[in-house]
Structure 1
Amino acid sequence: MIINETKREDGIEIMFKPKNDETFKRLHEVRNFFERDKVYTDVLFYTFEDNQVQIIVRDDSYAVLLAALFRWQLVKKLEWVD
């Protein structure tokens, strides 16, 4: 999976390009997890025709999103590059 992250004024934008249907399915499970919580604007998901997924996450929900990505095994490690 290819992941690109960009800082925005209102949070962080993450673009995912899933490499297969299983990865896309797990990403959808993460989306369902956030859609069931009580805060509707913490993490927003947009899916494009090519199955690329844009996630916009508020700064205060970023750690929760990362934990969910680990939980559904979409990431195995994180590294920040300046």
Structure 2
Amino acid sequence: MPQTKYRYAATSSRKTWLDLTKCAVIGDRWTDIVAGATVHATTILVRTGAGYDALHTYRDKWAHIEPNYIAENFEDATNWVLNQL
């Protein structure tokens, strides 16, 4: 995986003192999940939008990564995050 592609997240976190391991990445694209996993954030794939393709058409591109949660929609994702607190 090209680390430079996701370097912005690590660079931004250092500038803001943000601990990315305590953050969640919610997205509908496989690249969102890869980016979150790269910085050790909690990852949530949303089935809406491009989520179906991420799970089926492009799953081979990120087969080595398992999202922490697969949500039906954004509301489901945010509720899951809030319940983890």
TM over 0.5: no
TM-score normalized by structure 2? 0.25
Q: Highest CA radius of gyration, 1 or 2?
A: 2
Bigger relative contact order, structure 1 or 2, given CA contacts below 8 A and separation 6+?
Answer: 1
Higher strand share: 1
TM-score normalized by structure 1? 0.26
